[in-house]
Amino acid sequence: MDAEAMKMLGAGLAVGVGLVGSGVGIGILGYGAMQALGRNPEASGVIMTNMILAIAFAEALGIYALITGIILAMVA
In a domain? residue 44 = yes
Q: At 15, which CATH number?
A: 1.20.20.10
In a domain? residue 52 = yes
In a domain? residue 1 = no
Q: In the chain, how many domains are there? A: 1
Q: Which domain holds residue 14?
A: 7-74
Q: How confident is the model at residue 76 (pLDDT cuts 50, 70, 90)?
A: low
- pLDDT tens-digit series, residues 31-45: 999 999 999 999 999
Instruction: Report in angstroms the alpha-carbon separations of 28 from 22, 25, 58, 62, 71.
Output: 10, 5, 11, 15, 29
In a domain? residue 2 = no
In a domain? residue 15 = yes
In a domain? residue 49 = yes
Q: How confident is the model at residue 30 (pLDDT cuts 50, 70, 90)?
A: very high
